Amino acid sequence: MRFLPVSLTVLLVELADLEETLALFASLEADAIAGIEDMVPAARTLMIRFRPEITDARTLATLIARRDLSVKPAFSDRLVEVPVRYDGEDLADVAALTGLSIDAVIARHTQSIFTVAFCGFAPGFGYLVGGDPVLQVPRRQTPRTKIAAGSVALGGAFCGVYPQSSPGGWQIIGTTPLKMWDITRDPPALFQPGDRVRFIDLARHCAATPPSIATSVPDTSGQEKVEANANAVTLEVLAAPMPALFQDAGRFGQTGQGVSSSGALDQGAFKAANRVVGNPAGTPCLEITLGSFSFRVNGRAVMALTGAPCPITIRDHAGRTHSAETYQPISLEAGDVVTLGFASCGARSYLALRGGFQVAPVLGSASTDTLAVVGPAPVVSGTILTVLPCRAAFHAVSLTEAPAFPHPSATDVVTLDVIMGPRSDWFTEKGIATLSEQVYTVTPQSNRIGIRLSGAETLERAITAELPSEGTATGAIQVPHSGQPVLFLADHPLTGGYPVIANVAEYHLDLAGQIPVNARIRFRPVTRFAAIDPAAI
């Protein structure tokens, strides 16, 4: 085993192959080590998140190194049959790469029994192994920007089915009408780790045209229900140029289905908003990007706005206006219209109402994951939101909250501390120097998934081979073929196939979530890259 640093609370265990990875994963699930919070298995790595107040990276490495990897994990007896229309646009290319005819490719694919090794990339995306070795073909040189939901594809040693429309670089050989991800199903992912999978040729088994392929959309079915109250205070959203999103501390414990944590990008501001109005910790708030949001309230309420400092204007039912401050409780009366101006610095504000919003959790969280399309629907103009009444667990409002840091503007240079690893050694000394010396510009293509950066020099690679998919953490600085890094934020994919040169230190993640477009970023390494040595056994 090789133990690689990811961040201050995450490490990556590199193993010889997928079999060893699954053996270690099964071992740690059966006999857990204190302090491990979450694990993400991948092609030949296991990413482990731990609680630093309980353990540390070297202690974990020492204990993990003792594990017996000779015992193969037990797989499920469940067989999932997937009907396929073999009409993929890369089917002919796969035939050419394998030296087979198209009919022979289809025959070998349908005769194989695959196993779901792990899930990642997107919710419901299972990495299937165990097929005919002849069908192992490289990923496309140039990934597609959009692959349709239900596309059946091959990539290296894996087969997979895209659960929703997304970019991707695998070779598409067909399509299936089955929904890989359905939030109304329990569990939502059709493929579960350990399942066996067999593909069936629709042309041979069904003459009828299969139904259209369904895509994943936000769905509140099966969520906790809250009784409607005719006397409840409500907000009517009057303006939302950029849809607001419900966010909370995050969605944890769903990595087995390929779902990352999501959650508020500025956790400090999110928590402060709830403290200002006296809500219990973790109460969902609205995350508003760049302000310009407006709503009308139909009854008495107490609100707070934290994060990016938008100007707050309140117009009462008589037409009188006054301003209010961020990080302070604000009393509202029936008929008041609250308008948030443009945020001149920072990127995201958090709106809390005393009592909290009536919003049903999805998979245990009210966070809206924009990549996975999981969680409550975005809040747009015309949306009516209900404010819940206060309960016994509520606290007094807080008058002492303040921003944790100055919010950056579009003209600022923001310095972010980074932990080198886990793939720093895939870059040349020049590439490492470029990362720390260059100032990057935040491009308009940035969002909750990640900050796309532009620099004058690309990050030079020492290893140009294809990296097998491995887990990625929030704050990962991933470097695609372009050499221009992407800084992953909360809605990032659970696994990725490009090397991560470094990770933003956890204490700077909130700051990263507040950096606006056109601002510049400088990365400051606070560690030197080195594998983690287990203590002597």
Residue 187: which CATH number? 2.40.100.10
* pLDDT given at position 466: 84
* pLDDT given at position 206: 61
For the chain, the domain total comes to: 4
Sheet holding 45-50, edge to edge: 2-5, 10-14, 45-50, 36-41
Give the end of a domain, one of 319, 352, 387. 387
Average pLDDT over all residues of the chain: 93
Q: Rounded to whole angstroms, how far apart are CA atoms 173 and 233?
A: 53
CA nearest neighbour of 120 among 473, 375, 503: 473
Q: Rounded to whole angstroms, how far apart are CA atoms 128 and 74?
A: 16
CATH of residue 51's domain is 3.30.1360.40
Q: Do 363 and 482 have their domain in common?
A: no
Q: Do 237 and 383 have their domain in common?
A: yes
State residue 35 phi and psi, 5-degree precision.
Answer: 100, -20
Q: Rounded to whole angstroms, how far apart are CA atoms 161 and 152?
A: 4
CA distances in angstroms from 367 to 347, 378, 393, 536, listed in the order given? 18, 10, 22, 43
Q: Do 255 and 361 have their domain in common?
A: yes
* pLDDT given at position 144: 87
CA nearest neighbour of 501 among 447, 448, 453: 453
Q: Do 150 and 247 have their domain in common?
A: no
Length of the chain: 537
Q: Do 289 and 195 have their domain in common?
A: no
CA nearest neighbour of 126 among 375, 483, 494: 494
Residues of the chain with pLDDT under 50: 207-226
Q: Cβ distance 475 to 10 under 8 Å?
A: no
Coarse DSSP helix, strand, coil percentages of the chain, rounded to the nearest 5 percent: 15, 30, 55
Give the end of a domain, one of 13, 36, 64. 64
Q: Do 86 and 153 have their domain in common?
A: yes
Instruction: For residue 168, tell me if it sits in a domain.
Output: yes
Q: Do 501 and 422 have their domain in common?
A: yes
Q: Cβ distance 502 to 475 under 8 Å?
A: no
Q: Rounded to whole angstroms, how far apart are CA atoms 126 and 494?
A: 12
Instruction: For residue 165, tell me if it sits in a domain.
Output: yes
CA distances in angstroms from 193 to 42, 178, 198, 468, 536, listed in the order given? 11, 18, 15, 18, 34
Instruction: For residue 299, tell me if it sits in a domain.
Output: yes
Q: Rounded to whole angstroms, how far apart are CA atoms 324 and 458?
A: 45
Give the end of a domain, one of 156, 189, 205. 205
DSSP per-residue codes, 413-428 = EEEEEEEE-SSGGGB-
Q: Cβ distance 376 to 362 under 8 Å?
A: yes
Q: Is the dihedral of CA 79, 83, 87, 88 positive or negative?
A: negative
Domain holding 348, by residue range, is 233-387
CA distances in angstroms from 453 to 16, 290, 486, 513, listed in the order given? 33, 19, 6, 14
Q: Cβ distance 537 to 66 under 8 Å?
A: yes
* pLDDT given at position 60: 97
Q: Do 60 and 84 have their domain in common?
A: no
Q: Rounded to whole angstroms, how far apart are CA atoms 499 and 6?
A: 12
Q: Do 379 and 244 have their domain in common?
A: yes
State residue 157 phi and psi, 5-degree precision.
Answer: -85, 5
Instruction: For residue 382, tell me if it sits in a domain.
Output: yes
* pLDDT given at position 140: 87
Instruction: For residue 72, tell me if it sits in a domain.
Output: no
Q: Do 52 and 112 have their domain in common?
A: no
Instruction: For residue 446, tell me if it sits in a domain.
Output: yes
CA distances in angstroms from 281 to 182, 233, 352, listed in the order given? 30, 21, 12
Q: Cβ distance 489 to 265 under 8 Å?
A: yes
Report CA dihedral (511, 516, 518, 521) to the nearest 10 degrees: 10
Q: Do 348 and 449 have their domain in common?
A: no
Token couple for 272: 């402060």
* pLDDT given at position 219: 43
Token couple for 339: 């308008």
* pLDDT given at position 372: 85
DSSP per-residue codes, 435-461 = HHHPEEEEPTT--SSEEEEE-SS---B
Range list of H helices, 166-226: 202-205
139: how many CB neighbours lie within 10 A of its CB? 17
Q: Do 318 and 422 have their domain in common?
A: no
Condensed to tens digits (0 to 9), the pLDDT of residues 173-205 reads 999 999 999 988 989 999 999 999 999 999 987
Instruction: For residue 530, tell me if it sits in a domain.
Output: no
| Model pTM score | 0.90
Instruction: For residue 12, tell me if it sits in a domain.
Output: yes
